[in-house]
Amino acid sequence: MLPGTVIGQSKWDVDTPAILLDLDIVERNIAAMADVFRDSSVKLRPHAKTHKSPHLALMQISAGAIGITVAKLGEAEVMAAAGVDNLLISSEIVGPSKVARLIGLAHQVNVLTVVDDLAAARVIGEAAQAAGVRLQTLIDLDTGHHRTGINAGAPALNLAKDVARLPGLDLIGLQGYEGHLQHIEGLEERSNGEAESLGQLVETRQLIEAAGIPLSVVSTGGTGTHRILAEQGGVTEIQAGSYVVMDTHYATIEGVTFGHALTCMTTVLSKTKPNRCIIDAGHKTLSLDSGPSAPKDLPGAHYIAAGDEHGVIEFDDGHCPLNVGDRVEMIPRHCDPTINLHDWYHVTRGDTVVALWPVAARGRVQ
């Protein structure tokens, strides 16, 4: 169902709760990130798991990105249907139905897949061969995040040798996402951690290439480490995602200076105490996995979730200046899961709604 919003109306009049996307800030964020890599051997492959929008993916490609990263097949299918090409699926593909969908996707667009298990890779390779396609494939390394990924060094080398012999697959590189480093606040500590993670990637690449397997892609990085990697080299592409809209968690990270393009408009529903009010945004509207969202332009105010549908805005000085019916703009703490709670972006320039964009890959977790 379309939101009850009229193009041209003020953002302060949209039905709430609703996420807003400031297009001027988005464009500045995209341009700023593109500038970091414009003259670098390292290229940008933004992660669309953040914004889940083909509109934004195509804007990023137009600004110089070499392709798009997605987390799941469902996201890739949404992007491909909208004309987005050169898609890296950064999670392993396992199971007959998903392998069949991957092969179907490979008939439509250029797609890259990642593996960390020989048996799973063999299933994909056999399906690709039977369908008459070849899938570009990366070995997924664990460089410290301890999620997916085979250990660097000899284990990765052994897997690479086996994968390189499989039919239907073209082994072209490595992936090693260092998610454990993205939100380290201090630049020096983050840089030191990145040196260790990057070292595992580079040394593993050298080991595999010494065995006669050339690798052209080394994919890693995020918003928190993008500039470090652009300056150090050793990788070929960066998967930064959050920068395009930003959130208050990344705003605490030294050296991450992108603007807050994403906010959530809410309405004050109740005010029965002098130091606080209740807004129409709770767990179903604002993600709390990284902490509470922040009221925008309200010094001394902080947000407390109060259930599925409600939130509290409390003021440190004991006086709440808001009244029932007032609007409160919130800046999410974690952009990715907050966006996934909403069907539509209310796209603005200044205070004016200029477009409604579907969050097209919302909920595409399969």
d(CA 316, CA 291): 18
Residues 30 and 163 in one domain: yes
- Please calculate the CA angle 193-230-26 and round it to the nearest 5 degrees: 105
Which pLDDT score is estimated for 205?
Answer: 98
DSSP secondary structure code for residue 246 in this structure: -
- The C-alpha atoms of residue 253 and residue 249 are separated, in whole angstroms, by 7
For residue 271, the domain's CATH number is: 2.40.37.20
Q: Which of 224, 249, 274 is the last residue of a domain?
A: 249
Looking at the structure of the chain, the number of domains it has is 2
Q: Are residues 219 and 92 in the same domain?
A: yes
pLDDT digits (tens, 9 = 90+) for 194-243: 999 999 999 999 999 999 999 999 999 999 999 999 988 789 999 999 99
- Do both 96 and 216 map to the same domain? yes
41 and 55 inside one domain: yes
Instruction: Say if residue 200 is in the same domain as residue 348.
Output: no
Same domain, 266 and 208: no
Q: Does residue 30 share a domain with residue 65? A: yes
- With respect to residue 363, please indicate whether it lies within any of the assigned structural domains: no
**116 domain-assigned:** yes
- 180 with 282, same domain: the answer is no
Residue 110: count of CB within 10 angstroms of its CB:
14
pLDDT block averages, 10 residues each, the chain of length 366: 81 97 98 95 97 98 98 98 98 98 98 98 98 98 96 98 98 97 96 95 98 98 96 92 98 97 98 98 97 97 97 97 98 98 98 97 97
> Is the same domain home to 152 and 197?
yes
> Structure tokens of 317?
């000085």
Containing structural domain, residue 150: 23-249
Q: Please choose, from the candidates 6, 61, 56, the residue with its C-alpha nearest in 3D space to the C-alpha of residue 358.
A: 56
CA-to-CA distance for 61 and 54, rounded, in angstroms? 10
**Confidence at residue 18, expressed as pLDDT on a 0 to 100 scale:** 97
What b/e string do you get for 35-65 counting C-beta neighbours within 10 Å, with b at 16 or more? ebbeeeebbbbbbbbbbbbbbbbbbbbebeb
44 belongs to a structural domain:
yes
Query: What is the model's pTM?
Result: 0.97
Whichever domain contains 66, its CATH number is 3.20.20.10
Output the pLDDT for position 4: 74
